[in-house]
Amino acid sequence: MTEETEELELKDRLSLIESMIAEGRRTTESWGWTFLLWGVAYYVAIAWSAISESPLAWPVTMIATCVLMMVLITRKVRSRPMTTSVRAMRAIWIAMGISMFTLLCSLGASGRYNLHVFVAIIGAMLGTANATSSMILKWRMQFGCAVVWWAAAVVSCFTSDTGTSIAFLVAIFFCQIVFGAYGMMCEARGRKQDASHG
């Protein structure tokens, strides 16, 4: 009798863990727009700095994107409960964002910035954040994004400025634009399924 009870209890726990992982993935899908937003922001900053060679292109674009994202998040968060997986994902991405912003601003202000270091830092940090999220959520697609970011970081250490720029643009396209759009499509599909079951 106790063995059956323990087996049922274990199955219930595994079911709970699986449902938490699925909820975490659904939550990440619902944040697909942030990946897309940051992908567009990177392209805007790249284009602005290439056209005008202004040192303000990156800081202004990144700060404006942060402000816009915070406004949109504030509206979205009010309507959703905060689960453990949501808090974990938020913590990973907020910590990565603060670290990246602090380091890149410091490098820029010190004059020790160059394209290769910039892409290596962004690639390594975004690779780490995507890999961590994907491992928690058991989501291969997001781990693929981590691999692409890491590849861009490695390429930036061994190639020319042109090769580094291409690697960065490709990583942004696949890991921000495509993955963000994919997340948004998955969320829309999930909402459609919920509506048809409800």
Q: pLDDT of 58-87, one tens digit each? A: 889 989 999 999 898 887 766 566 777 778
Which among 28, 42, 47 is positioned nearest to 168, based on CA atoms? 42
How many domains does the chain contain in total?
1
pTM of the predicted model as reported, rounded to 2 decimal places: 0.81
Q: Is residue 3 part of a domain?
A: no
Q: Is residue 10 part of a domain?
A: no
Share of the chain above pLDDT 90, in %: 46
Q: Which structural domain, as residue segments, surrounds residue 69?
A: 24-77+85-190
Q: Is residue 18 part of a domain?
A: no
Q: pLDDT of 85-115, one tens digit each? A: 778 888 998 999 899 889 888 887 787 779 9
Q: Give the angle 111-113-119 at the CA atoms, nearest 5°.
A: 170
Phi, psi of 104 (to 5 degrees): -70, -35
Chain CA centroid to CA 163, Å: 23
**Cβ atoms of residues 34 and 76 within 8 Å:** no
